[in-house]
């Protein structure tokens, strides 16, 4: 059992803290956000993540997990410190390392143990761990020997606990063999393949993994657009491709592009790093460009269908960037909502979890509904922007009953074409043939 401190208890930090406590370590979580600390102390997660609250409460009750906003208290006994603060995009497009530097300084000023290992979970540009070491060493107030380990995080929001216990690999990067083997030991109980490498390569593995997954998505979205032109069905195509293990079935779901707190910022971040190193990343540039175009593909279909969206009543189903989270960071649904209002449309949106979060960004620009029924009633068209199960399970006859005319632009291919064909719904999806029924509503 080790005394572990987590610095920055947002999505990654809290999941890391709770799961390390679950496998038997003594964990102190520290964050500068006192409100969140108060919530977590009371066993409440500041954000939604399946399975997290149960583990949080369980480990609080066991006395295995503590929360504090006091850095001294958090770090005085720490042997291992995980940094999990944010690394957003800065105004000039580079990766904003200010939270990382601040965290490193706080660590330096408060650690007292003779030997301390600082582990970086945050996604940081290549070379940042060396910078962290430098910041710590220059700000130390006690005599401490500090070693640095990179341990990039690969969890997905919405399945973070599952991912932590069932990941494909754990990457540990360090230039200090002893520190790497201590961190390997800590992670062994997860029973997951551990790959040990050098510091710089570990940092690069994280960015390259996200960039590659984003590439798969933009690739399949372009193929989906081509399928629409030539009459093929992207779901059949992706399945048939994925049966080749070299390709794999995952991350080939066509839609309205990738959003969220990671892919957009990390693809930009890698391009920025490459630019600084004097190298171009042309494939990744194209991935970002395709993603920007894909974002508005649904809206373009609606514009083509109606000519003009001014004063049209539109329901958006889904505001979170993906299901099972209330996170709306870089959510494509939010961009679509915003753009539709710019076009003069009257938008009402519903999301099972992310209404409050969306309101903070969209404010009064749109209306908010508390159910699918409320959102779609009397609307001219529905946009589906997040693949929540609740939308997939929604009885299709209700679109017929409640909308002015049931016209759906589905950015997530939520319904099978067979299912939809049983209803009088005018249905546009991504990369699949348009159901050309004779009795479709002849309106503009
Ligand atoms: N969200 C994900 O799914 C995910 C997955 C893998 C990797 N990552 C990476 O992990 C990092 C954290 O992401 P996140 O989504 O958890 O961020 P987040 O914004 O949810 O949380 C960051 C937390 O750090 C705290 N913080 C900021 N400065 C601090 C300081 N000096 N001392 C203590 N606390 C401080 C903030 O108050 C906040 O609670 C990022 O680098 C991200 O790219 C995120
Ligand atoms: O086949 C797919 C898969 C995903 N997406 C979209 O891609 C985005 C990201 O989805 P996902 O990867 O499931 O969620 P994140 O929580 O952002 O997780 C990614 O970003 C994290 C932060 O770096 C990494 O840790 C994870 O491994 C990586 O999957 C979302 O908009 C999804 O709708 C698709 O359009 N098609």
Q: For 51-107, give the DSSP string.
A: THHHHHHHHHHTT-EEEES-HHHHHTT-SEEEE-----B-TTSSB--HHHHHHHHHH
Same domain, 308 and 266: no
156: CA distance to ligand 2 center in Å?
7
Same domain, 326 and 261: no
From the CA of 216, the nearest ligand is: 2
441: CA distance to ligand 2 center in Å?
36
pLDDT tens digits for 5-21?
999 999 999 999 999 99
Q: How far apart are CA 82 and CA 84, in angstroms?
A: 6
Q: How far apart are CA 296 and CA 198, in angstroms?
A: 41
H or E element: which one contains 358? helix 355-362
Q: 63: how many CB neighbours lie within 10 A of its CB?
A: 9
376-379's contacts with Cβ under 8 Å and 24+ in sequence apart are 376/315, 376/317, 376/402, 376/403, 377/402, 377/403, 378/313, 378/402, 378/403, 378/404, 379/313, 379/314, 379/315, 379/348, 379/403, 379/404
Residue 57 annotated as binding site: no
Residue 155 annotated as binding site: yes
For CA atoms 204, 153, 325, 38, the dihedral sign is negative
Same domain, 163 and 275: no
- Last residue of one domain, picked from the residues 264, 293, 322: 293
pLDDT tens digits for 269-304?
999 999 999 999 999 999 999 999 999 999 999 999
Predicted local distance difference test score (pLDDT) of residue 210: 98
Q: 398: how many CB neighbours lie within 10 A of its CB?
A: 14
Domain contains 434: no
Range of the domain at 98: 3-197
pTM above 0.95, yes or no: yes
Pocket of ligand 2, beta carbon within 6 A: 123, 153-157, 210, 213, 217, 251-253, 255, 258-260, 262-263, 266, 321-322
| Residue 111 scores a pLDDT above 70 | yes
- Ligand 1 atom closest to residue 10's alpha carbon, by position in its atom list: 21
CATH code of the domain in which 188 resides: 3.40.50.720
396, 427 Cβ separation under 8 angstroms: no
Instruction: Give me the percent of the chain exceeding a pLDDT of 70.
Output: 98
Same domain, 303 and 235: no
From the CA of 295, the nearest ligand is: 2
How many structural domains compose the chain? 3
159, 324 Cβ separation under 8 angstroms: yes
Residue 1: band (very low, low, confident or very high) from pLDDT cuts 50, 70, 90: confident
Residue 443: band (very low, low, confident or very high) from pLDDT cuts 50, 70, 90: low
Nearest to 387 by CA among 354, 415, 414: 414
Predicted local distance difference test score (pLDDT) of residue 442: 62
**Is 262 annotated in the active site?**
yes
pLDDT tens digits for 399-414?
999 999 999 999 999 9
Predicted local distance difference test score (pLDDT) of residue 444: 57
Domain contains 437: no
Q: Which of 47, 168, 212, 213 to mutate to test the pocket of ligand 2 (most atoms within 8 A of CB)?
A: 213
| Residue 437 scores a pLDDT above 90 | no
Domain contains 444: no
Residue 265 annotated as binding site: yes
Same domain, 184 and 229: no
Residue 229 annotated as binding site: no
Same domain, 260 and 401: no
Q: What is the ipTM of this complex?
A: 0.98
Which residue minimizes the CA distance to atom 32 of ligand 2? 258
């Amino acid at each position: 059992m080790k005394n572990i401190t987590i610095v920055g208890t947002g999505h990654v930090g809290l999941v890391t803290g709770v799961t390390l406590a679950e496998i038997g370590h003594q964990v102190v979580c520290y964050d500068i956000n006192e409100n969140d600390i108060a919530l977590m102390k009371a066993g409440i997660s500041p954000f939604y993540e399946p399975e997290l609250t149960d583990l949080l409460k369980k480990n609080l009750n066991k006395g295995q997990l503590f929360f504090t906003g006091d850095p001294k208290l958090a770090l005085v006994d720490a042997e291992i410190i995980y940094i999990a603060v944010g690394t957003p995009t800065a105004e000039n497009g580079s990766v904003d390392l200010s939270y990382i530097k601040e965290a490193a300084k706080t660590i330096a000023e408060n650690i007292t143990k003779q030997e301390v290992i600082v582990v970086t979970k945050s996604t940081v540009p290549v070379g940042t761990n060396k910078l962290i070491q430098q910041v710590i060493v220059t700000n130390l107030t006690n005599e401490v020997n500090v070693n640095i380990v990179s341990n990039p995080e690969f969890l997905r929001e919405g399945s973070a606990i599952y991912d932590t216990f069932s990941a494909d690999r754990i990457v540990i990067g360090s230039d200090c063999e002893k520190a790497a083997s201590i961190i390997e030991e800590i992670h062994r109980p997860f029973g997951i393949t551990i790959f040990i490498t050098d510091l710089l390569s570990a940092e690069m593995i994280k960015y390259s993994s996200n960039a590659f997954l984003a590439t798969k998505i933009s690739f399949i979205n372009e193929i989906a657009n081509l399928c629409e032109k030539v009459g093929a069905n992207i779901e059949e195509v992706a399945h048939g491709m994925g049966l080749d293990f070299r390709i794999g079935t995952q991350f080939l779901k066509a839609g309205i592009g990738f959003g969220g707190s990671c892919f957009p910022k990390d693809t930009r971040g890698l391009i920025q790093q490459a630019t600084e190193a004097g190298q171009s990343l042309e494939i990744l540039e194209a991935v970002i460009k395709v993603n920007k175009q894909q974002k508005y593909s649904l809206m373009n279909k609606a514009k083509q269908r109606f000519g003009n969206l001014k004063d049209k009543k539109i329901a958006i189903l889904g505001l979170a960037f993906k299901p099972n989270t209330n996170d709306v960071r870089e959510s494509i649904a939010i961009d679509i909502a915003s753009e539709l209002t710019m076009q003069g449309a009257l938008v009402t949106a519903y999301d099972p979890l992310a209404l409050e979060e969306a309101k903070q960004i969209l404010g009064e620009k749109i209306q908010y509904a508390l159910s699918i029924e409320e959102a779609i009633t009397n609307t001219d068209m529905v946009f589906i922007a997040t693949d929540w199960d609740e939308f997939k399970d929604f009885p299709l006859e209700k679109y017929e009953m409640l909308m002015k005319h049931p016209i759906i632009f589905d950015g997530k291919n939520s319904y099978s074409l067979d299912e939809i064909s049983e209803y009088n719904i005018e249905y546009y999806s991504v990369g699949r043939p348009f159901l050309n029924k004779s009795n479709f509503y002849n309106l503009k």
